[in-house]
Amino acid sequence: MYDVTKESYDYVVTFRNNLEGERPMPKTTYFNLPEEKRERIFQEAVVEFRDETYDQASINRIVQRSGISKGSYYQYFKDKEDLYFYILQRIGEKKMDYMSPKLRKFEELGFFEALRELYRTGIQFALENPDYLEIGNKMMRDQSGTILRIKDQFSGQGEAIFVGLLEKGKAKGEIREALDLGLLSKLLMSMQMTVVEHYFEKHRDKGYSMDILEELDAFFDVLKKGIQEETS
């Protein structure tokens, strides 16, 4: 489902296709609403999930601030999970719109350059969209069953991007032929989260910033050179 073909490297199209059809999304009645009303509901939901964990988030508060009835809400969304998943999907789409110009240039870059640019652009998007960043932070810390299930679905989409980069790196001779790219993509995703967590442990007072790239550069150095001391 999350394949990025070796022949195309069309990361943008592949990722967008993977965002569609994962699970039931808002009902047709929601998309029939005027755009202003749809956006008002979306923005109020963003505020709620920014300020509260998934379990603590309240549909009652969302509908009250949106100026709709609770009955109308259930004409638009099946339940809270449906709305939450839709919010994450919209954030993912906005992030891809932001990153698309860079992604299209990845064919010109080496593997490590492309990987660093992917991280750099992602950090910049987060800094420019602090509400989305906080929703993501809450989701990553949340270990409830519902959120774990949702994270599992979105992790495959992230892996598709990494697999595409790795395939390109392998084709250019930058990545060893025998490596399991599926496993490596999972390791890269896990390791990047560990690097970010390490940054926050060291710089609790600084918050999210482009300085994270310094930690990621150290991570890239390990990826390139390994941990074994060179011998003469």
Closest CA to 10 of 122, 89, 104: 104
pLDDT of residue 75: 97
Task: Write the CB contacts of 4 (distance below 8 Å, at least 6 apart in sequence).
Answer: 10, 11, 14, 160, 161, 163, 164, 167
227, amino acid identity: I
Task: Write the CB contacts of 47 (distance below 8 Å, at least 6 apart in sequence).
Answer: 65, 131
State pLDDT tens for residues 177-211: 888 998 988 888 888 778 877 877 777 766 677 88
Q: Assign residue 77 a region (left: φ > 0; alpha: ψ between -120 and 50; beta: otherwise).
A: beta
Q: Do the Cβ atoms of 45 and 83 come closer than 8 Å?
A: yes
pLDDT of residue 156: 66
Domains, the chain, ordered by start: 11-223 (1.10.357.10)
pLDDT of residue 24: 52
Show the low-confidence residues of the chain (pLDDT under 70). 1-24, 106, 155-157, 205-207, 230-232
